[in-house]
Structure 1
Amino acid sequence: MATNTAPVDPIYRQRFFETLHHVPKSMAKIMGSYSGIPEHEQIAHITKLRNEAYAQFPYPCMGTFRFLDLDLARHEAYKEHVRDVLLQPALSGKPEPLFLDCGCCLGQEVRKLAADGAPPHRLWASDIEPRFIELGFELFRDADKLPRDHFLCPGDLFADTTDPSEDQLNVLNDKVTILNVSAVFHLFDLDEHQRIVNRCLRLLRKDTGVPMLVLGGHVGGQEPSRVERGDNGKYRYLHNGETWEALWRGVCDQPQWKDTVAALKVKTKLFGRIRNEDPNADELVSLCEPYSTDEARLWQMFEVWVTFKSGA
């Protein structure tokens, strides 16, 4: 994989917006209809919880209120391959779909699915930080709607253990049919990507004979690059379409998966991302064509379909 080394990535410069001027329409709808929070209370409620989260986790997605954007809901695969699948009634003799959001942050994507009518018992989420899980329940006021034990923490994609006390993700090994991994890969270097892909494969269901879906998005580029994070002296690797597919094929060709994976299909699409100041917009950061403006940051949306051999 060809790689360009870039300077310290500006995404890791501390960014904090003190004021939230408007709640994006998609999130405002969830806050109103699902969480029961009146529109006139939403900004104050969100800001209070954001400030508490940022004091412990000063991440750009917190400082800029980016967690209010529903990246999964605007994914091209969301309606047909996520929402509609999860809404299908259970059929006798056939396994039910199971959705997992890895690195769920405040659990906003799971709340969108719940608000869209997905059965709560099919929805799971995980994060490495327990406080994110608690803040998510406070933000959405839904402790009576979603099973708390479906929020797995710690859920460590790098854990090399079968002990659920060290990595609760183990309870879902071989059970996940739809796996969302968004804004995760771009935090890590290429060797760590290989470990994440391996962990994703362990989570996916293997006894159905039909493709399992891994989807999400992360910062990408027209050319792959290895970028210094700047916050801890480590690096993160940003993919283009070719290196992203090569990553998955490379892991699937390793001995532990070569005789298990029957087929692999990888799809990617590159977008620009620009801050949206329209108070009537559905999101704070809008997707556009790559390089449509000088301000656009590049975002790689992906689908990975994995089919396992019968009896794997």
Structure 2
Amino acid sequence: MSSQQATQVIAAGTPTFEIRPRQRYHEKLHNVPKVMSNLMSSYSGIPKNEQVTHITKVRNEAYAQFPYPCMGTFRFLDLDLARHEAYKEHVLNPLCQPTAPGKPEPLFLDCGCCLGQELRKLAVDGAPPHRLWASDIEPRFIELGFELFRDWDKLPRDHFLCPGNVLVDTKDPSEDQLTILNDKVTILNISAVFHLFDLDDHKRVANRCLRLLRKDTNAPVLILGAHAGSPKPERRQYRPGTEGERCIFSHNEESWEALWREVCEQPQWKDKVAALEVKAKMFGRVRNEDPDADEVITLCDPGVTSETSEARPWQMWEIWVTFTPGS
């Protein structure tokens, strides 16, 4: 797909429309999803009969400052990275392997880590903590994450970078601490981030991701994640008439690939990116109303999504980038 074709795919988005309001707050947590419950008991030492109270307390503190849907609906209890199709083979396995002679040591970054739940899952699954990094724009999220998991003595605090601002172009760590990881990351997870922004910001974030990636591996390096998608590319008006009003852009598989090909064909990357592979798969996402369910959100066949369906498109993706030697 050429740069011109990529632009045409993205430009084919539907007209702006208003996002329908959805329930953003659930007062009570009835059940902790099984994977998270096991993590909190084995890693954090929190008995299962105390978990609901503990999680709700931390969630309420977080929601008071950051009234985001993922907080209000306990969505952060679902471990999106762990159920990503690439998790075991392309994330966990490389991180757990000893470094081969002459090869760079793998480094994982969770960009937009929220409470750091994905990093804790990696740690409990056996990934060495010194290979794990996380970032967020809000320092309070980092502190609340340590309160939630009670692991002040298990993970290096200086591996949680804040502010980690993927929208700025700076070399000043005081504006963006992610600068210390430029050209060092071999596995970058960035979930539930792109869907917060409009298309121009998507290009900025993609550029920032590329700057973070290690260039001298002589092998593909990985960006992966998941976010709200759409059957066709479309610009949406988010929270109209409120202080948080803005436009956001949602992708289907074709426009998502087109975005990355357009960015990689920009002058600063055209001669540095030797190969690009984009994989994307759409699912339906439905809130699980069963209080004893093992998931807050259940992923289902994308065919069930529609304007009237409760299922919402959810896109899971991988970006494999091979850089030109010496770039």
Is 1:5 aligned with 2:15? yes
Shift of 1:92: 2.7
* Structure 2 residue identity aligned to 1:102: C
Structure 1 distance, partners of 2:14, 2:96, is 43
Shift of residue 6, structure 1, vs aligned partner: 4.1
Residues 228-284 of structure 1: per-residue CA shift (max 9 Å, x gap)? 011522100000011101100001000000000000000000000111234554321
Q: 1:241 aligns with which of 245, 253, 265?
A: 253
Number of aligned residues = 311
* 1:251 maps to amino acid: V
- Asked if the contact 2:30–2:292 (Cα under 8 Å) also holds between the matched residues in 1, the reply is no
Once residues 304 and 264 of structure 2 are traced to their aligned partners in structure 1, the CA distance between those partners, rounded to angstroms, is 35
Question: Aligned ranges for residues 186-225 of structure 1 at < 5 Å?
Answer: 186-225=195-234
1:311 aligns with 2:326: yes
Select the residue among 75, 79, 82 that pairs with 1:70: 79
Question: Which residue does 1:127 correspond to in 2?
Answer: 136
Q: Residues 131-142 of structure 1: matches in 2 within 5 Å?
A: 131-142=140-151
Check conservation: 1:271, 1:298, Cα contact below 8 A.
Answer: yes
Q: Which amino acid aligns with 2:313?
A: L
Question: What do the CA deviations read for 1:153-211 (whole angstroms, capped 9, x no partner)?
Answer: 00000122101111100000000000001000000000000000000000000001100
Instruction: Extract structure 1 runs of 4+ deviating beyond 6 A.
Output: none
Q: Which amino acid aligns with 1:77?
A: A
Partner of 1:259: 271
Contact 1:175 1:203 in 2 (8 A): yes
Per-residue deviation, 1:291:
3.5
Kept in 1, the 8 Å contact 2:181–2:212? The answer is yes
Q: Deviations over 1:99-125 (max 9, x none)?
A: 000000000000100010100000000
Indicate the residue corresponding to 1:53 in structure 2. Answer: 62
SS for the counterpart of 1:310 is coil
Deviation at 1:222, TM superposition (A): 1.1
For residues 130 and 99 of structure 2, the distance between their equivalents in structure 1, rounded to whole angstroms, comes to 12
* Structure 1 residue 221: Cα displacement: 1.1
Give the corresponding residue for 1:146: 155
In structure 2, what is the equivalent of residue 250 of structure 1? 262
Q: Secondary structure at the match of 2:222?
A: strand
Q: TM-score, normalised by structure 1?
A: 0.97
CA distance in 1, matches of 2:49, 2:235: 44
